[in-house]
Structure 1
Amino acid sequence: MHELLGGAEGERLELDAYYADFEKNFWAINELGFWKLERQQFFQEPGYDSWEAFAKGDWEESLRLLDAGRADMADYHRRVEENGFAARRVRVVEEPITAYLQWELHALRVRDQCGGSIRIVGPDQVADFEHDAPLPEIYTLGATVMYQAIYDDDGVLESARRFVDPDLVLRCQGFIQNLYEAGQPLDRFFAAHVAKLPPPGRQ
């Protein structure tokens, strides 16, 4: 277990139980908000139409589908705002940017433009916290619950772990917030490092 988690293992949830638990807790978030840290440089997202197009090598279609989802994404973040909290993310980006991450940064850009603020940090900004293992994929919901996403060897979401120790949740929330405050706004990073990249190859 990563030292950031202080040895805590949490409660393992199968995907159906995790999705239901997350939905219930997400819409009960207080003003502390939602904070997410993404560290891995490669995932697979079967069932997501834009990712499916990307994985098949149809870059233009994958971008078209992302753009087609803007209205739903904007509605989602309006609902978040109406519920009195904000959703923020930190994305660790290593260079050269992987093909998957090139696609994900386009997806995150849509989210960022629709109200879900995202900041980018480089591996040098997290190196001091990764002596033993990469940072975990974690996200805090207010001050009451945190999840760690667990992926299989192919980068597909396999399960999740739920943590409810308020001291741990608040410590990890503060950690993500500090990275966010030190990070670069996504739009600035995107313009400098992503916008001019050629289409990635088939996954």
Structure 2
Amino acid sequence: MNDPRALELDHSIGERLPLDDYDVDFDRRDSAVTGRASWKFERLQHFRELDNESWDAFDRGDWDESLRLMEEMRDGLSEVIDAEKSRGNPFYRVRVVTEPLTPYLQWELHGLRLQAECGRPTRVIRDDVIRPLENERLLPEVVVLGGQTLYEVVYSESALLDGAVRFTDPEIVQRWEAFIEKLYKGGEDVISYTDRYVSHLPPPRAAVD
């Protein structure tokens, strides 16, 4: 895909969902998906997390505690991912990275590695792969559920999750699904990337505003 306009998302034909509505809508639609993969494209290099003890520890500069708390999530993650598999709904993620890594991304890649170990596949691509498609602005954060629903995930100026814009037009959904899948096929497994590039790095500084 060489035309940046092909991936533009016109908010006038989508529905803006505040955070609480997005959470409810996502859970309802996600739980109804059977026999079809879902996809996530993650582009931004810094976020702030809500209700995540590992991120809170990272934010206050306690790296060892952050990793310990992350590991405590393993059993719960495995249960969720096993449930996805049981209904034939694997969830694939493409994570764009800019090197050198931001502190947030260093933290997140450890979490994505853990998810991959629990059975949720993620692949990493470098930002130069998609840069030709970003002449005017970065590509959006996107989730595609079961080939039926696309969410452009929205973040506040302080990098906190702030809901989404929902699209259900089949052409839009299919175009983005095919785009993410193509990136995934050309990416590097997050486990090998993290082991090769991230695991040896010194603890990152605390999160920044």
Q: TM-score range by the shorter chain?
A: over 0.9
TM-score, normalised to structure 1's length?
A: 0.96
Q: CA RMSD in A?
A: 1.2
Give the Cα separation in 2 of the matches to 1:176 and 1:30.
Answer: 20
Shift of 1:187: 1.2
Do the aligned residues in 2 keep the contact of 1:88 with 1:118 (CA within 8 Å)?
yes
1:193 to 2:197 alignment: yes
* CA deviations over 1:44-79 (Å, ceiling 9, x no partner): 002211101100111111100110010000000000
The residue number in structure 2 matching 1:112 is: 116
The residue number in structure 1 matching 2:46 is: 42
1:26 to 24, 30, 42: 30
Structure 1: which 4+ aligned runs deviate by more than 4 Å?
none
Q: Which runs of structure 2 are paired with 1:1-203 in the superposition (5 Å)?
A: 3-9=5-11, 10-203=14-207
Secondary structure class of the residue paired with 2:45: coil
Secondary structure class of the residue paired with 1:88: strand
TM-score, normalised to structure 2's length?
A: 0.93
* CA deviations over 1:143-195 (Å, ceiling 9, x no partner): 21011111111111112110000111011000000000010111111111101
The percent of aligned pairs where both chains have the same amino acid is 39
Do the aligned residues in 2 keep the contact of 1:4 with 1:172 (CA within 8 Å)?
no
Structure 2 counterpart of 1:125, one-letter code: V
Give the Cα separation in 1 of the matches to 2:25 and 2:58.
Answer: 30
Structure 1 counterpart of 2:119, one-letter code: G
Where structure 1 has 5 or more consecutive residues not aligned to the other structure, the ranges are none
